[in-house]
Structure 1
Amino acid sequence: MPPAASGLTIGERVAMARKVAGLDQHALAQRASYSTSMVRAVEQGREPASPAFVAAVAKALNIEIQELYGQPYRDLLDDDGGVPGLAELRTLFAEGSYIQAVEPGPVGEIRNELELVRQMRQDDKARQAIARTPILLRQIRGMEESAISGEDREEALRLLAQAFANIGLMVYGFGWMTLATQAVDRMETAAENAGALDLLARAANYRSLLLLSYAAYDVGESLVDRSLNLLDQGPDTESILAVRGSAHLRGAILCARNSNESRAREHIAEARAIGAKIGRTPSTYDTSFGPGNVEIHDVAVSLEVGDPGRAARDGSALRIPADVHSTRAGHHWQDVARAWVLSGEHSKALKALNAARRVAPQQTRYHPQVHETARAIALAERRKSDSIANFTAWLGLKI
């Protein structure tokens, strides 16, 4: 059984890290701004650890959040064939500004390849997409170096920024936070060199996503404001509207985690108005923004502000539009499952987990919150059903 997946629970890791830091439960609770009873419940496995709780505890203990999640699940990934291209990607990042370029093919082919790896990520095929990314990045770098005109160089830099954005989202999902941070850094540099305010706005939005994991909500909110301010300098095209709507959705989650429900709901209202104006999920800018994603985030806000009953009911009733990406739909059902667990409805939680597995199996298998939710269901059922036993076995969990 894979040790990363079947070993310690998040609660057990919290307890170990707390003891290493020389703190009792009360002291950790004070540092993390949670109640002692919550810390005790998580450590004992009676309460699933929320992302906000894990981020707060990691910050309080001055450790990486992945130490508490046990990410990345290396042995589980190895069982599935590993992540081809990851070693080459690490090498490419280590090369810094001296990335070894390769001769690029036609510009149209490079654009098509970038769109393909984006689509693979959205379709829950991140492992396969990562394998194709290092050579793509080297080709785009070659395109930049061989550019004759300023216009050609600007296009190469825009493609480079978008490619780094895509890989950043993928490695973030697997728990490689250092690589994700480096990817956003590279995206910002390429966007700045291209003079692309729209891509700088997206980079600010992506960095605010990383800051969720560090409980740096105030800084994250300021980056959302920066993103919106940059976008105000451009025209209200569909693409820009989608980026603006995406920034409001990020702001909603940041505010919800920062105990500012009223502002979170304001962000949702702004995003809903933009979604109604667009009427669909546009493919440009790779934002995943659209009316369906707005409602998914509305459910997530309810969960983040401590209203799991509302999140479970609204989330279960939501009819997700067909144009919502698989990974977004999968994340929604993962949230709904956690909401049902917190509401004491474990059979409904398992149903939601299976819905997540159907639409986004790769994401579901490697997501730490899924592991935590599945453990909670299994531990709550004194007589474990075949269904939860099969699900935990699929995750590589030993209960």
Structure 2
Amino acid sequence: MDQHVGQAIASERKIAGLSQRQLATRARYSLSMVKAVEQGREVASPGFIAAVANALHVDPDRLQGTPYLDTLAEDGPLEGLAELRAVLAEGAYVQPLEPPSRAELRSELVAVETALHNDRTRRAMALLPTLIRQLYGAIAQSSDSDRAEAYELLCATYVAAENACCRLGYSSLTALVLDRLDWAASHVDDPGYAVRSLMKRSRLLMAHGSTDVALSLVNRGLEMVPGDSEGERALRGYGTLRGAIVAARGLRLDLAEDYITQARVIARPMKRESNLYTTDFGPGNVEIHACAVELEAGDPSKAAKDGAALHLPADMAAPRAGHHWQDNARAWLMSGKPDKALIALNKARAVAPQQTRLHPSVRETLHGIAAAQRRQSDSLLGFASWLGTSL
């Protein structure tokens, strides 16, 4: 049987010489919650994992077992990862490649962003290292008048790289990516990329339980978009949604709901999800986040029912839709409806199979369904087989 997060927590707790009660006290959760998670009767939420990781002085990835190397290996070597690691290790001294034309560079970036939008993250990872080196070459060869455009393309490429690393489970690389994004963003007049970096760093901090610092970065980013252009509205909306999730993760439900209210106002005139700055901000994404806030800090039953009733826009990014159904599965499980949770997981699988196989919450929810069901159904066992895990 594969180890779920609760078993990993129990192992690390014993190594640290802590009782369940001591861990509960340090993590500021109830003793009953710690016991339930360790026994697999309760799914470990991201907030719980962050709190326990801090209490045990371990990385959250250690508890989740990410990246899932065996699952990744089933589809062959992960092209681009080793080279991306080398590029990031080079820091400010990236070895450039001879760049193609500016039009070709833009086309390569579109190919990366399209792959990410369509849940083809492995394809994006394969393209990223060469594109980054070519952009450094373009910057070196650019005149003062067109160097800013090359830096903007590099910013967008680093945004894509952070996304790819997160989805594939290599979150340890994201801090390095964000450091390079901060540097590149300082060379462009458009504040949008600096805002994106702040919001992405807030996500990284949230994973480590630093919600107060994460919120300060969210608010700092929002202060950088005072205008009302289409791009600024998308950035402001994107930032308010990030604020909502950070606040919910910190169990500040009132503040999270305030952010959702602000996001609804921004999205109200929009007819579709925006692709500006690859924020995916729009009316559909707002309602997805409203359900996520309810799941993290409010009523899981309401999150489950509201989430199941959502009609997601056809133009929504596949991984964003997949993440919604993953959250919906967790909400149904927390509401005592394991059968409906499995239905939601299959919806996630249908819309974003690559992301679903690699997201930690999916495995946790699956183990929770197995623990809640009196007998393991063929559909549950089939999903576990597809996921590459055992129950």
How would you bin the TM-score normalised by the shorter chain? Answer: over 0.9
Candidates 61, 78, 87, aligned match of 2:73? 78
Aligned residues: 391
Whole-angstrom distance in 2 between the partners of 1:243 and 1:115: 19
Which structure 1 residue ranges, 5 or more long, are not aligned?
Answer: 1-5
| Alignment root-mean-square deviation, CA | 1.0
Candidates 6, 13, 22, aligned match of 2:17? 22
- List per-residue Cα deviations over 1:263-301 (Å, max 9, x = no partner): 111100111111112332122211011110000000000
Identity %: 47
- Residue 13 of structure 1 aligns with which residue? 8
Whole-angstrom distance in 1 between the partners of 2:57 and 2:269: 44
- Residue 183 of structure 2 aligns with which residue? 189
TM superposition shift of 1:175: 2.2
Whole-angstrom distance in 1 between the partners of 2:298 and 2:51: 15
- Residue 160 of structure 2 aligns with which residue? 166
- Residue 395 of structure 1 aligns with which residue? 387
For 1:186, give the aligned amino acid.
R
Deviates more, 1:193-202 or 1:80-89: 193-202
Contact 1:248 1:268 in 2 (8 A): yes
1:191-230 equivalences under 5 Å are 191-230=185-224
TM-score by length of 1: 0.96
Whole-angstrom distance in 1 between the partners of 2:140 and 2:255: 45
TM superposition shift of 1:171: 0.3
For 1:281, give the aligned amino acid.
E
For 1:42, give the aligned amino acid.
V
Candidates 246, 249, 257, aligned match of 2:238? 246
Instruction: State the SS of the aligned residue for 2:251.
Output: coil
Instruction: State the SS of the aligned residue for 1:277.
Output: coil
Whole-angstrom distance in 2 between the partners of 1:358 and 1:371: 16
TM superposition shift of 1:245: 0.2
Whole-angstrom distance in 2 between the partners of 1:79 and 1:250: 33
Instruction: State the SS of the aligned residue for 2:336.
Output: coil
For 1:336, give the aligned amino acid.
N
1:345-356 equivalences under 5 Å are 345-356=337-348
Candidates 270, 276, 298, aligned match of 1:278? 270
Whole-angstrom distance in 2 between the partners of 1:147 and 1:178: 32
Whole-angstrom distance in 1 between the partners of 2:145 and 2:9: 52
TM superposition shift of 1:174: 2.1
- Residue 142 of structure 1 aligns with which residue? 137
Contact 2:121 2:168 in 1 (8 A): no
For 1:18, give the aligned amino acid.
R
Whole-angstrom distance in 1 between the partners of 2:234 and 2:315: 14
Instruction: State the SS of the aligned residue for 2:145.
Output: helix
1:108-147 equivalences under 5 Å are 108-147=103-142
Whole-angstrom distance in 1 between the partners of 2:307 and 2:175: 31
TM superposition shift of 1:96: 1.2
Instruction: State the SS of the aligned residue for 1:280.
Output: coil
TM superposition shift of 1:258: 1.1
- Residue 304 of structure 1 aligns with which residue? 296
- Residue 3 of structure 1 aligns with which residue? none
TM superposition shift of 1:378: 1.6
- List per-residue Cα deviations over 1:84-125 (Å, max 9, x = no partner): 110111111111111111111110111111111011111111
Instruction: State the SS of the aligned residue for 1:48.
Output: coil
1:360 aligned onto 2:355? no
Which structure 2 residue ranges, 5 or more long, are not aligned?
Answer: none
Whole-angstrom distance in 2 between the partners of 1:151 and 1:336: 49
Contact 1:375 1:392 in 2 (8 A): no
For 2:169, give the aligned amino acid.
G
For 2:80, give the aligned amino acid.
G
For 1:13, give the aligned amino acid.
A
TM superposition shift of 1:178: 2.2
TM superposition shift of 1:151: 2.8
For 1:152, give the aligned amino acid.
D
Candidates 338, 349, 372, aligned match of 1:380? 372
For 1:390, give the aligned amino acid.
G
Whole-angstrom distance in 1 between the partners of 2:357 and 2:322: 11
Instruction: State the SS of the aligned residue for 2:79.
Output: coil
1:32 aligned onto 2:27? yes
Whole-angstrom distance in 2 between the partners of 1:197 and 1:170: 22
Candidates 298, 308, 326, aligned match of 1:316? 308
Instruction: State the SS of the aligned residue for 2:209.
Output: coil
For 1:113, give the aligned amino acid.
E
Instruction: State the SS of the aligned residue for 1:151.
Output: coil
Instruction: State the SS of the aligned residue for 1:71.
Output: coil
- Residue 59 of structure 2 aligns with which residue? 64
Whole-angstrom distance in 1 between the partners of 2:108 and 2:203: 25
Contact 2:47 2:250 in 1 (8 A): no
TM-score by length of 2: 0.98
Whole-angstrom distance in 2 between the partners of 1:305 and 1:178: 27
- Residue 231 of structure 1 aligns with which residue? 225
For 2:192, give the aligned amino acid.
D
TM superposition shift of 1:193: 2.2
Whole-angstrom distance in 1 between the partners of 2:147 and 2:26: 49
- Residue 247 of structure 2 aligns with which residue? 255
Whole-angstrom distance in 2 between the partners of 1:213 and 1:24: 24
